[in-house]
Structures are given as C-alpha cells and as structure tokens.
Structure 1
Amino acid sequence: MRILCATNSLLLGLIGFSAFLGIWALLSISGLVPSLFLPSPLAVVERFIYLLDHRFAGGTLLDHLWASMLRFAGGFGLAVAVGVPLGLLMGWFRLLDDIVTPLFDAVRFIAPIAWVPFAALWFGTGIGGPIMIIFAGAFPPCLINAYRGAKFADPRLIEAARMLGTPDRRVITEVLLPSAVPSIIAGLRISAGLGWQSLVGAELIVASTGIGYMMVQGQGNVSTTTVMAGMIGIGIIGLIIDVVLRQAENAILRRRGLSA
C-alpha cells in the first residue's frame, strides 16, 4: 500500500512537472513572450550544461555554486552552533529566557535582506557579509525549535533527574537535548531553506563570486539563459540540502519509535 501511494505521488509529480515544462515551451515557441526574456527549456538546459565547463563571471557554474555552498556552510553552521545551545538554555533557565526573548522577538522579524546594507558597510564584498545575512535568516528557526523541544521535554524524566541530584549541565545534555532532537532537526530543515534563500539574496548585492553574483552578471549581459541556469543550480542544491536533512529527520524519528 505504501509503495502504491509513493508511486502515485511520483506519477502526479511528474505530470505536474511535465505540464509546467509544456506551458513554458509553448509560451516560448509561440512568440507570446520574446525568447530574449523567456528562452525555451532546451536553451536553458543547453546553457546550464555549457556553464558547467566554461567560465562566466570569473568561474564555471560549479565554481560559483561551490563558493555559495562554502558561504552557506559558514552561516548555517554558525546559526546552528549558537541557536541550538541558546534555545536549550532558554528552555531550561527562566532568567535567561526572560532576558533574551524580548530582544530576540524584536530582531527576528527583520528580514535577512534588510541586513544587506550593514553587511556591505561592515564587510564589503568579502565572505563576512553573506555569512552574516545567512546567519540572520537561519538563526531564528534553530533557536525557536530548540527552545520548543526543551519546553516539551518529558517532565517525568526531568523530575527523575532532579531527584537524583543531576547537575543542570547533565540534565541539559542528557535529558533536554535528546528529547528536543526531533524538534531541532525539523527546525534545521526550515533554517537551511531560509539560509540558502538569504545567501542568494546576499550574493545579488554583496559578493564578487557565487551563484547570485553570476546571475547578476548574466542580467547585465542580458543573458536570460544564464540567469535561469543559475536558478536551476540554486534549486538543485536547495533540494539536495532538504533531502539530506529530511532523511536525517526520518532516521532519528525511526530510532525513537516516532515514525515508521
């Protein structure tokens, strides 16, 4: 039954994707939209393949994607390293929660792209600016989900640990953290998506390499195929990141008996 459902989902997905490509090709071929602004799917694929081996704006498509992924790894890793422990600590220490929450609630509603002017002033076109913007997008989900996971930890386990005289440090690492892992992993998926989107926005403005920079140069050269090839690369990498985190989430849930 599960295999049948998966097959049906895959079939429906293929139908939707085929319909999208068909409409796109029809609009391009019919001339309703000039090919300069809406090239055919085949032209975009050909450009994508071409850019894999040929340099544009200082590097191949893979070079630009690699530069973007390094920035993403830095910003996302920093968000996880700060957000997850802070969220757990806020879930355990009421005083820290009261201190951090008002500031966090004020800052988290600022769109990551709004930090671009500060990033440009502080870091120029170096790696620091994009990392800061990625951090701004990825940090809130990490903290919120870690905090939520800590708050919903089994109170019986916490009470048992307290009765045994377990220090706060061990309660956090051996009780709160394991209980919060499913929530943390779910938050990482959201965080990774927002971080990757924030990265591309940052590279459109404050970078001299990367997939966003390549797309800006394509726009300057009126090369729509280059811009769309970059969009395909962004989508592929984003999908890979999400699939990896989804598999990690499913594996953890299965180990904890929360998923089939």
Structure 2
Amino acid sequence: MNPSLLSHLSHKAFGLGFPLALALVLTLPAAHGSSPSCPKGDQRDPGWQRRPEMDRCEGIRRIKPIAADGLRLTSYTIGLASPRKDRRGGSVFELQVPVLPEGRREPLVAVEAWKANYRMEPRRLEATRQGWKRFSWGAAVIQGQGISADQLRATALLRTPGDTDQWLPVLLGPASGYNLVISSNASLRVSSVRLLGPNKEKVKDCLTRPALLDQDLPCSWNAAGLKAGPYRLLVRNEAGDILLDETLRHDPRWLTP
C-alpha cells in the first residue's frame, strides 16, 4: 500500500483500534497508479475492476467493507450529479476538483453509492480551465445497476506531508453552497456538528440539538459569503469527546452566486 495512505491511517485510525483501522484501509481511496485491489476483468461485468477506457477503477464491490463503530465524511460536493450525452450518444458523468495554488499533488478522488456498494476512483485527472481538474466516466455501470444519480457521493482527499490532510469539494454541478454527508457505522450519540472558520469562529451548526446518529447526517453549507481558507468540521459527543475532526478547504470562487 502507498506509504502516504498508511500515514493517513496511522493518524486517523490506529489510535482507535485495529477494527477501525482495517475498515479505513478498505474504504479510503486507493493510490493512483497500479493497484492490486483494482484487477483487470471482463468489462461487461459490473464488478469492481480496472476500466482502461476513461482510465479508472469502478464497479460493485462484492465484499462490503468491514463496518466499525465511528464516523467518517462520505461526501463533500458542490451541486448534484447529472449524466449527459457524449459525442457517441452514450451517457457520461463528469466531476471537477479545484486546484490549490500551493498544491502540487493530485487529491485522492472517490465517488460512491454506499448502499449499492458502488465505487469509482479516477486514476488521473485532466487539467482543464484554470484552477480546476476534471474527470468524465461512462454511466453504464451506474445505470445498469439501477443506481440513481442522487445516490452518488464524492470526496477528494488532499494529502499534505508534514501537515494536516485536507478535503477539497468535488464539483458535480453549479450551486451556491456545499453538500456534506457524515456517515456512522453504529448508533452514536452526537451533541454537536459544527463548522469552524480559520480563526476558530463558529460559522455553521449542522445539528440543532443532540441526536442519535445511526446512518447519515446531511448538511448544507452556504459559504458564498465566507473568505477562502481552511475550515474545520468538528463532531463531539455529549461528554465533549471529539468523534470526527476534518479540515475542509473553501473558496467562494468555487461556488455559483
């Protein structure tokens, strides 16, 4: 496995026990390039495999990732996914990811439909208009498995050696704000889900009162009026313990007024 992923896992999971670490190994995006977890196969099979056309790993994973008690960020997106017709008349999806001025590394991008056990990982992104990279892929697996576009979630993890890992939004369509989804593998009592600004000021509460989180918690964040920079997603339980702590990058230029 890529050493950078092991570093991320060590930081996020191993202090919480082996089961959670193993679950993260199975659910985090794989490194770009050749990967034994993305085998070659029959392209007509919807199973998880390398798909050379529109170079990606995609499919239905036959073995579900091991569930472990805990929370994770399963989506940080702009807009909603919608298939379009390509020049040959087929249906394709497209995503875009912003490029940070200081960023030289490509983020680890993943698109999922969790309940359908679908996953797609682009092996490389294409540079397009200034400040963005994109990726397009065929809709055959998604549509063939009856997965609706509104089930799709996406994340882009930017690894920063020697610093905090950051999440970039995945642009699926024009929108004035972000869509976040926090998912739980167990019933956890959550007291606050809060977004903090660069100066640790509160900018958004995703939870108005303590709640039992046992599946998904969606959160819409209209950040068009906020300055660019790193923001912190912080989830605590009733004892004040931190259940999830992630850094999200924001820039109002990424959003549509």
TM-score range, shorter chain: under 0.3
Give the structure-1-normalised TM-score: 0.24
Give the structure-2-normalised TM-score: 0.24
Larger strand fraction of residues: 2
Larger helix fraction of residues: 1
